[in-house]
Structure 1
Amino acid sequence: MGQIDSFLFIFLCLLGYVELAKGGSGLACNWGMQSTHPLPPGIVVRLLKDNGFSKVKLFEADPGALKALGRSGIQVMVGIPNYMLASLASAVGNAEAWVQQNVSNYISNHGTYIRSVAVGNEPFLRDYKDQFVNTIFPALENIQAALVKAGLGKQVKATIPINADVYQTDSGLPSGGYFRPELQNLMMNIIKFLQDNGGFLTINIYPFLSMKADPSFPREYAFFNNTAKPVVDGSIVYTNVYDANFDTLISALEKNGFGHMPVVIGEVGWPTDGDASANVDNAKRFNQALLDRIVQGLGSPRRRTPPDVYIFSLIDEDHKSTLPGNFERHWGILKYDGGIKYPLDMGNGRAVVPAKGVKYLAKQWCVMSPSTGGVSDPNTLAQSITYACENGDCTSLGYGSSCGNLDSQSNASYAFNTYFQTMNQSKGACNFNNLAVITTVDPTKPPCRFEIMIDTRKQKKAASPPTVYRSSAAKIQRIFAALILGLVICGVH
């Protein structure tokens, strides 16, 4: 990295520190991109800044997102998908090529403030049946070696986001935490390697999933402000599963000599649709209390120092797999288009801000034709709805969802419209064996909304976010003393 780019990186570090010193909330979130009609990256970056997010985690090295984040001052954790682990583990040269293309390139050429690399994502999930057990550590080692070779070993840290099922407790108390026996040695090797290289461990915690997986789970215990019976663990009292889960990991680390290992919460949130407990009221209740904790700088009973917490997620993703559940597409604190789902205080009384400058398709919808009556062939209707839902997002028609109480004709209309919008309202996308027609009258029936998609065909390239710093010798001289301070600040994660 050249001299000017090095100064730019340090300045961005310093800028982030100054913003926090002014009272910024230092919020962090995940930016997922599995959408049929994604928001333009420039609009998302503006959305992040407007809502006080100073850190963002990407699940892959998306070029549009990494360019748009350039010179924004937002810290970036860039992810490596699990399918790439085998290649990265097989040869350090593959890791070097990945780092050059996806880290060095964006730091040097775009001023993107990349501070960490997430190697894989929850690679030890039991559902993967040990698919990534033999490749995750070698991939981590090679990425770290590549970062060092690129001269980024000190400023960009490696991590592995893990799921909470890598540790457990037989007593049901956080103090009894230990790593799964079959993963014990591997986890020790990973954690020691991360610690030796100044990295950190990342854990994903989902109270919603804890509640959903166990019918006997005390529902109130999933929330922060609750009426649940506390769990008493010696001298510590736990009032919610989030703290108990986190401290189970801390206990496991302490027992293995890693009591001071830095830990980041990589994902935590609550969905708004697709399940009886996934609704706006529960999501608002959970996420508002979570935001309050982050802004107040609260840690857990066992580790008072607050960790970085990445909220999952910024916006809905209508193209995610629903195999884990229909709720998977609705984790966003904002709608797919950056619209507000429910009011949130983002800190210091700042209300959540919607996306600006979004362009939509025409105001028209595809609905079941009123002239079809009862439909002479129910099988034809059923097949049409199935086809529409296989190619569109019918998540909201599920039990407990916002559209779960529609009548049969409205159900069909909702399904037809999801397909019509997904296909960019193209000619012939609203036929369904002559059962459907296009209308300009909004068929929305609150709280069920018949969406119109973002126009990704016509939308002009979004303007780049404001440049926080343009390098010049004069500016560097004026802030040289401040940059020295920045070196110290950025050396601490």
Structure 2
Amino acid sequence: MAFKLIPFVAFFLASNYVADAIIGINWGRQTAQRLLPAMVVDLLLQNKVPEARIYSSQQDILQAFAGSGISLTVTIFNVQNVATIELARKWVQEKVPYFDSANIRRVYLGNHVFRNGLTDKSFLNMAINTLETLQFAINEAGYADQVKVTFPNPEVVIKDNLTKPSEAEFQDDIKEEMARTLRILKKNNAPFIVEVFPISYVTYHNFDPEFAFIDNKSPFVIRDKNNTVYTNAFDFVHDAFVWALIKAGFPDMEIIMGQVGWPTDGFPGANASTAERFFKGMLPYVASNKGTPMRPGAPIHTYVHCLTDENKMPYYYPFARHWGIYRSNGEPKYKIDLTGQGRDIFPAKAKGIMHMPERWCVFNGNDTDTLKVKRNFDEACTTADCTSLAPGGSCSQLSFAQNISYAFNMYFQANFQDEKACKFEGLGKVVTENPSTGRCVFPVEVVKGQQVGDVAADGNRIHYHVPNFGIFLVLVSILWALFCD
């Protein structure tokens, strides 16, 4: 019966959504050198960004956003910290002053709880209980109409190997729990949050790479039920979730695209020019309120992922650290108009940024002891960010000596140019001539400010560096192949 109602549902949605689509941005702080919250607020205001998601609910960040007029989505990663009604009420009591002053509108709970729930049902059910409990505490405090609690959802929560959006449905193993969650969201008029990264989506599904872009240059077209036609991955994924919600019995639930990004390094096709092309097509498309084939005319509230690179992100894959439209030192990488007007402009620059001196640490060329060279390269890349050396990365074509120099410099900058951080058993030296070459930038980072710490009591992101030794071994193998040549 649900399928016969599809044309009516599409008409209903198109005729009832009247608000313009909102383009927001995500800001994470897993970086060795972090921009101060006040700088970020100023940067968002300069770029006329109306909404932001932060990956914490720390008081200092909320204070920086207070009075800015920017609407906030906050995150609680440690679900256990608000899992009981007493803990939930305590959290709400602490945040109530900022519900209005910092314009908090949504709370994201956990880190992909349904993905984790595919293998841990007890955790998933605890998280769903917590979702309901925290929303109850918020409602109880008088903010039922303003602050909504929800989960962010990656594509893995729907069945894999889709050839058409209409084939989508939630994974069998989590259908019961998803239905319960959707009932809670529906009861509280909370949105369903979707995350999509088109470059990885088309690669994983072996679609035409051009299908990742929204400029209609791809010859790859997908035709589906109800005369719907798909020419890009953004619409494809959005409407796959529309179909999954329809089949679950929630055809009119609001969808927010909570993370949509394009990396600029660490992956084939990931660079500043392709990122610029992607957003130049996507953001005006979102701002046009055209909607998608399954929801024509419905606004698609979309959050760009993300503001800055995060060089302390665990590198399960190299491009995880390169989503930013700005480098971690506050320099814009490419042209992007965050208002959705499609102007050919660079984003506004961060004010008050102070860089460290124009100094770099490089390899002195002494390769007589290859084991020592390897050991120090290993040490540098285990602590600092060497993901630009990965296959397809901006620094993947360097020579043996340049690879070593890149690793040494990343370690040197991450340690705020402490000359002791350029020793490397006598293999490093500090230079004032920029060793950058081609697309490969040897960065000079910003001066020491607010730095990475442990997980906070309210469940902020864990800032530990967790190396992925599979990728690390790839880097080492590339390096030593160059040496052997």
2:108 equivalent in structure 1? 118
Q: Any idea what the Cα deviations from partners look like across 1:96-122, whole Å, max 9, x if unmatched?
A: 122222x313236xx111011111232
- CA contact 2:165–2:224 (8 Å) conserved in 1: yes
Matched, 1:362 2:357: yes
Inter-CA distance 268–151: structure 2 relative to 1 (3 Å threshold):
same
Distance in 1, matches of 2:387 and 2:151, equals 30
Q: Any idea what the Cα deviations from partners look like across 1:454-475, whole Å, max 9, x if unmatched?
A: 112599xxxxxxxxxxxxxxxx
AA paired with 2:258? G
Q: Which runs of 5+ in 1 are unaligned?
A: 1-19, 460-493
AA paired with 1:357? G
SS in 1 for 2:361: strand
Q: How many Å apart are 1:36 and its aligned residue?
A: 1.0
1:197 to 188, 200, 203: 188
- CA contact 1:365–1:440 (8 Å) conserved in 2: yes
AA paired with 1:432? F
Inter-CA distance 126–213: structure 2 relative to 1 (3 Å threshold):
farther
Distance in 1, matches of 2:31 and 2:362, equals 23
1:320 equivalent in structure 2? 313
2:27 to 21, 28, 31: 31
Q: How many Å apart are 1:126 and its aligned residue?
A: 5.5
1:220 equivalent in structure 2? 210
Matched, 1:309 2:302: yes
Distance in 1, matches of 2:330 and 2:118, equals 32
AA paired with 1:176? E
How does the TM-score come out when normalised to structure 2?
0.84
SS in 2 for 1:220: helix
Q: How many Å apart are 1:295 and its aligned residue?
A: 2.3
Aligned pairs, number = 427
AA paired with 2:403? N
Inter-CA distance 139–450: structure 2 relative to 1 (3 Å threshold):
same
Matched, 1:65 2:57: no
Distance in 2, matches of 1:298 and 1:78, equals 28
Distance in 2, matches of 1:199 and 1:458, equals 34
Distance in 1, matches of 2:165 and 2:419, equals 58
Q: How many Å apart are 1:404 and its aligned residue?
A: 1.1
- CA contact 2:26–2:54 (8 Å) conserved in 1: yes
Q: How many Å apart are 1:345 and its aligned residue?
A: 3.2
- CA contact 1:232–1:238 (8 Å) conserved in 2: yes
Counterpart mapping for 1:364-379 below 5 A: 364-370=359-365, 372=366, 375-379=367-371
SS in 1 for 2:413: helix
Matched, 1:272 2:267: no
Q: Any idea what the Cα deviations from partners look like across 1:49-88, whole Å, max 9, x if unmatched?
A: 111210001122133321111100000000111xx22343
Matched, 1:97 2:90: yes
AA paired with 2:351? K
Q: How many Å apart are 1:128 and its aligned residue?
A: 6.8
SS in 1 for 2:244: helix
- CA contact 1:76–1:116 (8 Å) conserved in 2: yes
Matched, 1:142 2:137: no
Distance in 2, matches of 1:30 and 1:328, equals 14
Distance in 2, matches of 1:227 and 1:329, equals 28
AA paired with 1:257? G
Inter-CA distance 440–104: structure 2 relative to 1 (3 Å threshold):
same
Distance in 2, matches of 1:368 and 1:127, equals 46
Report the aligned-residue RMSD.
Answer: 2.2
- CA contact 1:168–1:248 (8 Å) conserved in 2: no
- CA contact 1:208–1:222 (8 Å) conserved in 2: yes
Inter-CA distance 60–457: structure 2 relative to 1 (3 Å threshold):
closer
Inter-CA distance 350–318: structure 2 relative to 1 (3 Å threshold):
same
2:76 to 73, 80, 90: 80
Distance in 2, matches of 1:140 and 1:350, equals 42
1:295 to 287, 290, 294: 287
Distance in 1, matches of 2:212 and 2:106, equals 30
- CA contact 1:169–1:178 (8 Å) conserved in 2: no
Matched, 1:454 2:446: yes
- CA contact 1:47–1:355 (8 Å) conserved in 2: yes
Counterpart mapping for 1:205-216 below 5 A: 205-214=196-205, 216=206
Distance in 2, matches of 1:327 and 1:170, equals 23
- CA contact 1:273–1:396 (8 Å) conserved in 2: yes
- CA contact 1:269–1:331 (8 Å) conserved in 2: yes
- CA contact 1:169–1:248 (8 Å) conserved in 2: no
- CA contact 2:118–2:174 (8 Å) conserved in 1: no
Inter-CA distance 26–308: structure 2 relative to 1 (3 Å threshold):
closer
Moved more, 126-135 or 407-416: 126-135
- CA contact 2:21–2:302 (8 Å) conserved in 1: no
Distance in 2, matches of 1:157 and 1:448, equals 43
The sequence identity of aligned pairs, in percent, is: 33
2:468 equivalent in structure 1? none
Distance in 2, matches of 1:403 and 1:127, equals 37
Q: How many Å apart are 1:170 and its aligned residue?
A: 7.1
- CA contact 1:366–1:436 (8 Å) conserved in 2: yes
Distance in 2, matches of 1:128 and 1:63, equals 33
Inter-CA distance 275–298: structure 2 relative to 1 (3 Å threshold):
same
Inter-CA distance 340–418: structure 2 relative to 1 (3 Å threshold):
same
- CA contact 2:116–2:124 (8 Å) conserved in 1: no
Distance in 2, matches of 1:269 and 1:135, equals 30
How does the TM-score come out when normalised to structure 1?
0.82
Inter-CA distance 286–127: structure 2 relative to 1 (3 Å threshold):
farther
Moved more, 251-260 or 240-249: 251-260
Task: State the 4+ residue runs in structure 1 displaced beyond 6 angstroms.
Answer: none
Distance in 2, matches of 1:176 and 1:379, equals 54
Distance in 1, matches of 2:419 and 2:178, equals 54
Matched, 1:50 2:46: yes
- CA contact 1:169–1:176 (8 Å) conserved in 2: no
Q: How many Å apart are 1:150 and its aligned residue?
A: 2.0
